[in-house]
Structure 1
Amino acid sequence: MNELPLRHLFFHLDGSTSGPKSYNGPIGKVLENCGELPVIKFQKIEGGMLPDMTDDLSTDQKYLHRIVTAIISGTFPDDLGHKSPGKLSHTRWLTRANRLLRFYVATENPTSPLVTLATFIIKVYAPSWFEIKNKPSCKDRSRHLFKIIFSSRFLPEDLKCIVDTVIQRNGYFADSENLLLAMITDERKHIRELGCPANFEGSKQCCTNSTAF
């Protein structure tokens, strides 16, 4: 759900692959060696701060957390510039996101596609990734889907069409069963009551115990 919008957006803006770890587009061609480029004074990107959960992350995941935080704040730690953003692979989109951000902070005049991809990672991909990591339960999946839809509205119409088409094909978390599960486990009582209406037998007990789901 979270990987495919970034994947399709990348291919639309930069082109398809040309080998196991290579690309046809100008951005993709630089990703293999982007970790060796010097970090320059970059334009920070507005975004919400990520949850503090670095103790429960792998090395590549910690890198994403740190570089997103750095780009939002506009201050890049010296040691981060010497760390590897992770191996480049067509099947590892988290390290692809790491490398795209690493390339962004090393580019003096980033192109519009690079800025769009970096902004999408900061505003949509990374926050959703860590939200899903932090709340992996099936009861939260519809809420994760909503946040992906909501946070991607900054894109222009032509790019929203790219992302929305992918979301629609994988929108099973918006099915009625998943929405009801999200409603009856919501923190707000009136939402739980909407998920278990009063004319449903046993609904009051359901609403009372809904947080145990």
Structure 2
Amino acid sequence: MALLLSDKKISGPIGKLLDSATDFEINPNFTRISVGPPPNKLPDKVIQNLSTDQHYGYKIVCAVRDGVLPVGLALLEIGPVNHSSWLTTANRLLRLWVKQQHGLKGKNLKNLHFILEFIIGVYYPCWFNVKVKHSWIEGS
């Protein structure tokens, strides 16, 4: 399997790359992934209250869906890999996708693509929806 959880850290071909997700240059010709509906447009008030990792996640999901990275995105920090923070893990997986030299090929590259389809099509849309519609009666 490409992404395995052990008792100490994430392993497997993809998991081993998470710590170095920000070490290589961005590939401006990365393949866009636009699965599912586009993310909700977050109001400025919501964007101002996002943490650094939340803000990065919003920006990189939009970038991977559009196929274009904003100029300053590569300079933004991503939190460290942490078993309890899937937000930073999702951000690092998205960053791997736009890296110039991640070295993944064949089945491992396909697995990363499948994982990112889930992140872009399910995980982040649900997360963004909760940020905008956070009342329990709205059913997020």
Deviation at 1:108, TM superposition (A): 6.8
In structure 2, the partner of 1:44 is: 32
Amino acid at match of 2:41: P
Partners of 2:2 and 2:13 within 8 A in 1 = no
Match of 2:123 among 108, 121, 125: 125
Match of 1:99 among 92, 97, 100: 92
Q: Is 1:74 matched with 2:67?
A: yes
Alignment of 1:148-167 (within 5 A): none
Deviation at 1:14, TM superposition (A): 1.7
- Counting aligned pairs with the same residue, the percent is 34
Deviation at 1:50, TM superposition (A): 3.0
Q: Give the TM-score taking structure 2 as reference length.
A: 0.83
How far apart, CA to CA, are the structure 2 residues paired with 1:34 and 1:93?
15
Partners of 1:50 and 1:69 within 8 A in 2 = no
Q: Is 1:60 matched with 2:47?
A: no
Partners of 1:97 and 1:121 within 8 A in 2 = yes
Alignment of 1:170-189 (within 5 A): none
Structure number with greater CO (CA < 8 Å, separation at least 6) is 2
Alignment partner of 1:115: what SS? Answer: helix
How far apart, CA to CA, are the structure 2 residues paired with 1:126 and 1:95?
12
In structure 2, the partner of 1:34 is: 21
In structure 2, the partner of 1:156 is: none
| Aligned length, in residue pairs | 129
In structure 2, the partner of 1:14 is: 3
How far apart, CA to CA, are the structure 2 residues paired with 1:82 and 1:73?
19
Deviation at 1:13, TM superposition (A): 4.8
Q: Is 1:25 matched with 2:12?
A: yes
How far apart, CA to CA, are the structure 2 residues paired with 1:78 and 1:109?
25
Deviation at 1:55, TM superposition (A): 2.0
Structure 1 residues 83, 137: closer, same or farther in 2, change over 3 A? Answer: same
Deviates more, 1:58-67 or 1:70-79: 70-79
Deviation at 1:109, TM superposition (A): 5.6
Q: Give the TM-score taking structure 1 as reference length.
A: 0.56
Partners of 1:60 and 1:95 within 8 A in 2 = yes
More helix per residue: 1 or 2? 1
Taking only aligned residues, the RMSD between alpha carbons, in angstroms, comes to 1.8
Partners of 2:53 and 2:87 within 8 A in 1 = yes
Q: Is 1:88 matched with 2:81?
A: yes
Name the larger-Rg structure.
Answer: 1
Amino acid at match of 2:62: T
